[in-house]
Amino acid sequence: MIDEMLDTTAGTYQNTTIGSTPMTDALPQIASTLGYPTSLDLIKAFNYRLDRLRHDASVLDLSRESVRQIAFRRIDEIQKIFDAPAFKRSVNQAFGSYFSQVNLDSIDDLSERLESQHFGRSDAKNLLGAFEVAKQLAELSRSNGNLSPRAKRLISIHIDHLSNLIDSYETHGEMDFWDHYRILFSKFVELHETHFKDGETSKEYKERVNTMLGRLITSSSLAANAITVAPVVVQLLT
């Protein structure tokens, strides 16, 4: 059914921002920005992430069962972003509803509980692999030649932070690593829309961004928070 809805994108819209565009028409652009070949690929990856989170919540050690049931309800609510009713709404309406502050706060709480019980803890090898992907994107960004001094400075700051956090892994573990990684990922998404519109460079950049997103989702001990990448990207596109 989703495939049929995504195929009904005939006609053009006069919206000047993606925020006011119907979800049916905007989803291909969102998927492309994240590096997915099709909207369906994005939906499958998103649902897979939610299924993993739901499983983690089911085995989480909790003193109150009501906390688990609330988490399940919030996950179910967020997953509706790709249900049929959402496709009839604008991007801002859909994401604003399903990624409400209440839902995001609940996911943040679940993330903290998962982290405290060491769910999905990354080892030094995983951190180093993720860091190498980020460095490759940073080098590609700098080679573009159109990067502003401020953008270069921000990227360098986060790359340095990530490097220092890897060096201190034996003492502090992965503390703060994925927070910086997620911020850096968002910056790369923003830079792609601004500076990388030519064919070959654009393709390579998207592939690397998608690889970085994969690292963020599958390796982070803040696994639940990886879900919030979606509204971040929508905000950058608006």
| pLDDT tens-digit map of 18-55 | 788 888 898 888 877 766 788 888 888 778 778 777 87
Produce one character per residue of 193-211: b if its CB has 16 or more CB atoms within 10 Å, e if not. eebbeeeeeeeebbebbbb
Instruction: Round to whole Å and give the CA distance between 133 and 216.
Output: 11
Domain ranges of the chain: 2-7+17-116, 124-220
Taking residues 118-123, report their average pLDDT.
Answer: 66
- 88, 26 in Cβ contact below 8 A? no
Instruction: Round to whole Å and give the CA distance between 120 and 98.
Output: 25
| pTM tops 0.75, yes or no | no
Amino acid symbol at 223: A
| pLDDT at position 121 | 65
Question: pLDDT tens across 180-214, in order?
Answer: 887 888 788 777 766 666 666 677 887 888 788 77
Instruction: Round to whole Å and give the CA distance between 227 and 53.
Output: 9
Q: Which CATH class is domain 124-220?
A: mainly alpha
Taking residues 135-147, report their average pLDDT.
Answer: 82
